[in-house]
Amino acid sequence: MNRHKRQVLAMNKNQNPIVYLLKEDLGLFLSISFGIFLFVLFFQPFPLESLDFNNRLLFIAGLGAIVFIMMALTRIGYRWFIQKYSPNSQETILALYLCGFILLALSSVAFVFYLRYVGLASISFYIVFKVILICLAPPVVLRLYDRLNELRKQNEMLVSEREKIQKQVEKYEEDSLNQTIGFIAESNAENLNLLISDVVLLKSADNYVEIVFKEEGQFKKKLIRNTLRNIELQTKQFSVFVRCHRICIINKHYIEKLTSSLNNHWLILKDYPEQIPVSRQYLLKIKEIL
């Protein structure tokens, strides 16, 4: 939403707060009212034998209208009061339940009077019990609707935070690619210093570690006397290096895709002619970074 639209929205809220709140929940109110109308029409919980079919439809529509009016009075009236007199306060659980209880009480009383004086129905404890059950539906639906909205907003916030963190991680990894890493041999005579962006993979070769790296666009290999475990400790601070097998560590920026056949999995690296094995132990972690 651009700045102009936000300004228009703010002006609408300031000029017509009640109308704005009604428009915001109008579809929900109509849906709940129509649901009450259909429930009473098909299940006929109240004795309306004195009314013919057309009058019965009008009478039941009146029940739906009562629900609509009571929801508008309680929900919109409550929010209008909060916005006008306590604009910085947050809705508490107690206040929401109190609003729902008021809606239940007003709707139930209105239903009983409507049944008695318009529908000419005799009121009994059983009728009142059914009225309360029916009038309980709107506050429950409204509370569920609010809760779903809260969860949706929380999810949007979490997604936004995750995207920010992901961007920070990507920036950190991009910066780390331009750093130099030193691979230290046991004898200190075969040390190798490379840009992290040039290192493709590290592979165990008996008492040596084979380092595959790119130089002037060509893949080159160099053996240094050390164990892959010790080399892994040297690369631990750089998140771009990921272990995919007990004999292999890869630079994840060179991964092109993951392939499988039966229970075997391999990594295809960019422009690299060999397939790199992936063991089950590290398969999940590899899938997470793809």
The string of pLDDT tens digits covering residues 168-208 is 877 777 777 788 888 888 777 678 889 998 999 999 988 89
- CA 234 – CA 247 distance, rounded (Å): 16
Does this model's pTM top 0.85? My answer is no
- CA 132 – CA 123 distance, rounded (Å): 13
- Cβ 51 vs Cβ 114: under 8 Å: no
Longest dimension (CA), the chain: 105
For residue 254, the Cα-to-chain-centroid distance in whole angstroms is 31
Percent of the chain with pLDDT over 90: 47
> What's the pLDDT score for residue 49?
80
Identify which of 156, 136, 134, 169 has the alpha carbon closest to the alpha carbon of residue 63.
134
Does the pLDDT value for residue 56 go beyond 50? Answer: yes
- Cβ 242 vs Cβ 250: under 8 Å: yes
Q: Tokens in use for 176?
A: 């780390």
In sequence order, the 6+-apart residues with CB closer than 8 A to the CB of 24 are none
**127 — pLDDT class (breaks 50, 70, 90):** very high
Average pLDDT over residues 142-163: 92
Does the pLDDT value for residue 32 go beyond 80? Answer: yes
Partners of 211 in the β-ladder: 202, 222
Q: What's the pLDDT tens digit per position in 227-284? A: 999 889 888 888 889 999 999 999 998 999 999 888 889 999 999 999 999 999 999 9
Q: What's the pLDDT tens digit per position in 75-107? A: 877 776 666 665 555 556 667 788 889 999 999
Q: Which whole-number Å values give the CA distances from 19 to 1, 7, 11, 29, 230, in the listed order?
A: 21, 17, 12, 14, 69
> What's the pLDDT score for residue 2?
47
- CA 21 – CA 84 distance, rounded (Å): 13
Does the pLDDT value for residue 128 go beyond 50? Answer: yes
Rg (CA), the chain: 34
Domains of the chain in sequence order: 3-171 (no CATH), 180-289 (2.40.50.1020)
> What's the pLDDT score for residue 124?
92
- CA 252 – CA 58 distance, rounded (Å): 69
Angle at 155 between CA 150 and CA 159, to 5 degrees: 150
